[in-house]
Structure 1
Amino acid sequence: MHGPASPGWLLVALCAATGAYCLLRMRSSNETQRRAAGDEALMGFGMAAMAVPGSAFTPPAWVWPAYAVVFGGAALRALWVARSGTHHLHHLVGAAAMVYMAVVMTASPTAGHAHGASGVPLLTGGLLLYFAAYVLVSGVRLLPVAGAAGSVPAWGDRPELARACRLSMGIGMLAMLLTI
């Protein structure tokens, strides 16, 4: 993505760590939890790869269309799964945002790592608003609830850690959209 190298590497680390934890969450005994974790792992690792600073690595031209295809497939899967519940719509928006950023990077004169590439301002603004609201709501959901004590679930089933991962990916998406 665009921008200075230090914040770019921090974003790469955040997204890669989130993707790695989501892989751990795929070991959950809850099938719904496993599927969501798989979608989120793909998003985390894809965001980490896309956020590598251009000063460190300039990917070949075919990488951005490949991202668009992979996340287009993820968006279609999220759309298909959303038939059974609206909680999958966030995955659809996230995958569509990744497709949008990959298309913008494809259209950029230097394969997306130079300053000056830009997307459609209205679409970028809409995605920024969506992810800003998502981050705020996700942050509120992390606040402790009085009297919510009980047995400690396994690592893959910890809802507060899953929410923290979603929050960090939302923040990462905001950062990436700001650089478009």
Structure 2
Amino acid sequence: MHGTALSGWLLVAVCAATGAYCVLRLRSDCPRARSSAGGEALMGFGMAAMAVPAAFATPPPWIFAGYAAVFGAAALRAGWLVHARGAGGGHHLHHAVGSLAMVYMALAMSAPGGHTAHEGHTGPAGGVPLLTGVLLVYYVGYVLTTGMRLLPAAGPPGDGAAPGWGARPELTLACRLSMGIGMLAMLLAL
């Protein structure tokens, strides 16, 4: 990824913290909280690993094939869950898109020229590649809609019983929002 070392390390920290919270959600009593936590943990830790600034550690050439294989498998699993759950698999569709975006970034980073792998598939004016642009539009929409869901809703107060730590919807949304913003940052730095 391009960019300053500070922004790279901040992205690593946010993505790793998000991945760690998602691992904790795997132990929740709420089945709904556990259903997507594994995929989100993988995404958080994978984004953290891919965002490590190149000035700190030059990754071996084979690592990008490893990223592509892991996230390709995650995309297949998410696609299977979308198919198996039908209309109830909406968030798994997002996981499939995110995993495929990670495959795309891994392949782009592995191309000759290192992290500047957009040669040969840029847009008509030599700008942003079409697939990168489509993913940017998708993630801007995702970040905006997820951010809107975090806004407090007016309504009658509940019974006062707070859900367990793994089933806090606002924390889950905040993690998803941070990963969406992280994905935007990674796509912009590609």
Alignment of 1:3-14 (within 5 A): 3-14=3-14
Q: In structure 2, what residue type is equivalent to 1:163?
A: L
Q: In structure 2, what residue type is equivalent to 1:13?
A: A
Q: In structure 1, what residue type is equivalent to 2:140?
A: A
Q: In structure 1, what residue type is equivalent to 2:95?
A: H
Deviation at 1:151, TM superposition (A): 1.4
1:126 counterpart = 2:130: no
Match of 1:138 in 2: 146
CA distance, structure 2, for counterparts of residue 122 and residue 96 of structure 1: 15
Q: In structure 2, what residue type is equivalent to 1:136?
A: L
Deviation at 1:92, TM superposition (A): 0.5
Deviation at 1:29, TM superposition (A): 1.5
1:51 counterpart = 2:51: yes
CA distance, structure 2, for counterparts of residue 82 and residue 108 of structure 1: 35
Deviation at 1:47, TM superposition (A): 0.1
Q: Normalization by structure 1: what TM-score?
A: 0.94
Match of 1:152 in 2: 162
SS at match of 2:36: helix
1:172 counterpart = 2:176: no
Distance 1:108 1:17, change over 3 A: farther
Question: Identical aligned pairs, as a percentage?
Answer: 64
SS at match of 2:118: coil
CA distance, structure 1, for counterparts of residue 13 and residue 150 of structure 2: 21
Match of 2:30 in 1: 30
Q: Which runs of 5+ in 2 are unaligned?
A: 122-128
Q: How many residues align?
A: 176
Q: Which runs of 5+ in 1 are unaligned?
A: none
Q: Normalization by structure 2: what TM-score?
A: 0.89
CA distance, structure 2, for counterparts of residue 170 and residue 28 of structure 1: 23
CA distance, structure 1, for counterparts of residue 75 and residue 105 of structure 2: 14
Conserved? CA contact 2:9–2:52, under 8 Å: yes
Conserved? CA contact 2:76–2:96, under 8 Å: yes
SS at match of 1:28: coil
Which ranges of 4 or more aligned residues in structure 1 deviate by more than 4 Å?
none
Deviation at 1:31, TM superposition (A): 2.5
CA RMSD across the alignment: 1.3
- Answer with 1 or 2: which has the greater Rg: 2
1:102 counterpart = 2:106: yes
Deviation at 1:118, TM superposition (A): 2.1
Per-residue CA deviations over 1:87-123 (Å, capped at 9, x if unaligned) read 310000000000000000111423x3xxx33274000
Distance 1:108 1:34, change over 3 A: farther
